């Protein structure tokens, strides 16, 4: 039998076996460091530990923290250890809530106890270090639902109980470390010692659990809090407090009690109010004539720009929309990546000199002809579309480089303003199972790519890591340059997206490298009840990805 060994998806070894052997024994004959492996993925379909016995032709993918799946395992395992450490310190009464990602970590709060202090963070860090040093096993158990209910009743985990009572009829997968139990929908590492690096930073009213990052996968020092993004998260959290919604079970409750329509109207009204406030404030600054909008993939930039344009008109301004993509360099001048592919996401794929020239001409009151880029041929062509700015005109440009100062380097700062938009989801499955922001954007993109571009879920998911890589390089480093921030996340959107994405996720074949990712997303969506598209307003950002929007794209 042949064993195809891969490391983070890359081919490593092909081993011939004459008899069955466990993975740990097979790896002894390779250069792979087993201490770096968080999990083993078999034939794209199952996560197993190193004692798993191989008895037929098998593809074994050794997953480290450098792999996206491994990084999630690392984060969730660190959070599990954090929860165990807090339970050891304070018992069952305090409630730990992992609220949202921030920088290289996750912001957490502790409720039902005295104010959590900087000294408490220090104690918590030492307790986590002790658990890691003890190299304790983390056991995955499949228990009867009635037994799981008894366990989490004794731990006062109402957040888990609401979840498993409605979603698990016979058995529930749970994790145990010593006498501590928890529920995670994603896999954890087998032992506590796999968490080699972490840090806890006090940030009132809670703290940030930090993870290693960067090329060396180390904790960056010193820590720099993205203050504007953090403030946007805190503002959204206040909305959720007012709406009394934090977990998926809360949305399902609104559906069951026929209160979802009012909830959707209120949440969409909060979006519209925020957009109107941004538009009104921009118009107050009479020198500002250029609005630059940027954000990661599937954050809803296009719909936001259209709704902002409406609100600007309501404030007696006349927007001129200019496409940033029309300023791409001709294909023969486009920069390339190390592997030789065109680097369309580089800021240097844009003709910066020509863009800045035309913007200066517009600000000077001159008439210009807007360019048109032919993406099929990779050439910029004439558009025969001429524009000239009047006193009440204002330019809107939307694209990934809008926050990068180099994009409009020759335009005076007082003549432009920047807006960062992202879908910063803060809805959880329960207190410890976060729904990452990237998951919401990925689901949006899968739906849109399938409906409007004819891509399968598999194709979108295989491309996604490269999209994320571009965001890490070209968007996130500049997000604090924004003058305004807008959170395009809608707490109810998973219930809407579910029915659009459910079938196409099921079509991802088990032979695909995206198979386990598709199953992870299906497990996430299985906790959501369906919300009818008819409940969604026609100008909603969600309509950009599903259908029926009042706007043209």
* 468-523 pLDDT, tens digit each: 989 999 999 999 999 999 999 999 999 999 999 999 999 999 999 999 999 999 99
Angstrom distance (rounded) from CA 218 to CA 105: 12
Cα–Cα distance list, 413 to 203, 207, 289, 481 (Å): 32, 35, 10, 12
CA pair distance 303, 271, nearest whole angstrom:
12
pLDDT, residue 517, reads 95
Q: What is the pLDDT of residues 326-345, one digit of tens each?
A: 999 999 999 998 888 888 88
- Between CA 550 and CA 152 the distance in angstroms is 46
Which pLDDT does position 166 carry in this prediction?
80
Condensed to tens digits (0 to 9), the pLDDT of residues 8-23 reads 999 999 999 888 999 9
| pLDDT at residue number 539 | 97
Average pLDDT, integer, range 387-407: 95
| pLDDT bracket for residue 137 (50, 70, 90) | very high
Which overall architecture, per CATH, does domain 228-544 show?
3-Layer(aba) Sandwich (3.40)
Upper half-sphere CA count for residue 9 (Cβ side, 13 Å): 12
**How many angstroms separate the Cα of 348 from the Cα of each of 294, 352, 474?**
16, 7, 11
Tens digit of pLDDT for each residue in 12-66?
999 998 889 999 999 988 999 998 999 999 999 999 999 999 999 999 999 999 9
Mean pLDDT value of segment 388-417: 96
Inform me whether the pLDDT recorded for 398 exceeds 90.
yes
Q: What is the pLDDT of residues 83-136, one digit of tens each?
A: 999 999 999 888 999 999 999 999 999 998 888 899 999 999 999 999 999 999
| pLDDT per position as a tens digit, 202-243 | 999 999 999 999 888 999 888 999 999 999 999 888 888 888
Contact 187, 71 (CB under 8 A): no
pLDDT of residue 94: 87
Choice among 128-137, 165-174, 190-199 with the minimum mean pLDDT: 165-174
Dist. CA 42–CA 405, nearest whole Å: 46
Pinpoint the residues of the chain covered by CATH 3.30.980.10: 69-225
Q: What is the mean pLDDT of residues 368-394?
A: 93
pLDDT averaged over every residue in the chain = 94
To the question of domain 2-64 being in CATH 3.30.565.10, the answer is no
With pLDDT > 90 as the criterion, what percentage of the chain qualifies?
Answer: 86
Indicate if the pLDDT at residue 445 is higher than 90: yes
| Confidence grade of residue 82 (pLDDT, cut at 50, 70, 90) | very high
Residue 414 CB neighbours (<10 A): 10
The reply to whether the predicted model has a pTM over 0.85 is yes
Strands 368-374 and 484-487: unpaired
For the chain, residues classed under CATH 3.40.50.300 are: 228-544
Question: What φ, ψ does residue 100 adopt, rounded to 5°?
Answer: -165, 160
- Name the β-bridge partners of 94: none
Domain 69-225, what fold? 3.30.980
CB 454 within 8 A of CB 443: no
Average pLDDT over residues 280-304: 96
């Amino acid at each position: 039998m042949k064993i195809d060994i891969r490391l983070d998806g890359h081919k490593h070894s092909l081993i011939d076996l004459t008899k069955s052997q466990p993975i740990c024994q097979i790896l002894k004959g390779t250069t792979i460091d087993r201490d770096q492996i968080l999990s083993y993925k078999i034939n794209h379909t199952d996560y197993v530990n190193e004692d798993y016995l191989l008895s037929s032709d098998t593809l074994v993918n050794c997953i480290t923290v450098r792999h996206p799946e491994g990084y999630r395992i690392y984060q969730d395992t660190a959070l599990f250890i954090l929860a165990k450490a807090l339970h050891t310190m304070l018992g069952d009464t305090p409630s730990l809530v992992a609220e949202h990602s921030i920088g290289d970590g996750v912001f957490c709060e502790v409720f039902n106890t005295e104010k959590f202090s900087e000294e408490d963070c220090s104690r918590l860090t030492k307790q986590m270090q002790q658990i890691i040093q003890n190299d304790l096993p983390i056991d995955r158990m499949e228990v009867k639902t009635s037994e799981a209910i008894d366990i989490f009743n004794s731990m006062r985990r109402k957040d888990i109980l609401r979840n498993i009572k409605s979603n698990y009829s016979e058995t529930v997968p749970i994790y145990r470390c010593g006498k501590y139990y928890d529920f995670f929908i994603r896999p954890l590492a087998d032992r506590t010692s796999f968490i080699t690096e972490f840090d806890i930073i006090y940030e009132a009213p809670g703290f940030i659990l930090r993870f290693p990052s960067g090329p060396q996968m180390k904790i960056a020092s010193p820590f720099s809090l993205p203050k504007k993004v953090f403030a946007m998260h805190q503002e959204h959290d206040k909305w959720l407090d007012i709406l009394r919604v934090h977990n998926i079970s809360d949305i399902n409750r609104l559906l069951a009690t026929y209160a979802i329509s009012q909830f959707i109207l209120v949440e969409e009204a909060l979006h519209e109010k925020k957009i109107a406030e941004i538009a009104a404030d921009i118009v107050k600054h009479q020198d500002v004539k250029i609005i630059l909008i940027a954000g990661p993939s599937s954050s809803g930039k296009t719909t936001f720009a259209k709704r902002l344009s409406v609100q600007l008109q309501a404030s007696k301004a006349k927007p001129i929309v200019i496409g940033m993509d029309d300023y791409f360099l001709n294909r023969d001048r486009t920069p390339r990546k190390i592997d030789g592919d065109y680097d369309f996401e580089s800021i240097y794929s844009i003709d910066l000199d020509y863009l800045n020239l035309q913007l200066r001409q517009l600000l000077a009151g001159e008439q210009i002809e807007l360019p048109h880029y032919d993406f099929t041929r990779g050439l910029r062509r004439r558009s025969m579309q001429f524009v000239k700015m009047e006193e009440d005109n204002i330019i809107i440009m939307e694209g990934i480089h809008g926050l990068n100062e180099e994009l409009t380097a020759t335009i005076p700062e007082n003549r432009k303003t920047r807006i960062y938009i992202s879908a910063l989801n803060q809805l959880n499955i329960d207190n410890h199972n976060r729904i990452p922001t990237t998951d919401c954007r990925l689901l949006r993109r899968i739906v849109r790519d399938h409906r409007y571009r004819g891509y399968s879920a598999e194709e979108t998911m295989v491309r996604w890591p490269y999209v994320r890589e571009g965001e890490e390089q070209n968007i996130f480093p500049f997000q604090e340059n924004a003058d305004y921030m807008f959170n395009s996340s809608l707490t109810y959107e998973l219930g809407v997206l579910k029915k659009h994405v459910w079938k196409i996720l099921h079509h991802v074949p088990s032979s695909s490298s995206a198979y386990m990712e598709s199953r992870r997303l299906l497990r996430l969506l299985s906790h959501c009840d369906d919300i009818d598209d008819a409940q969604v307003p026609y100008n909603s950002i969600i309509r950009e990805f599903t259908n029926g929007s009042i706007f043209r794209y």
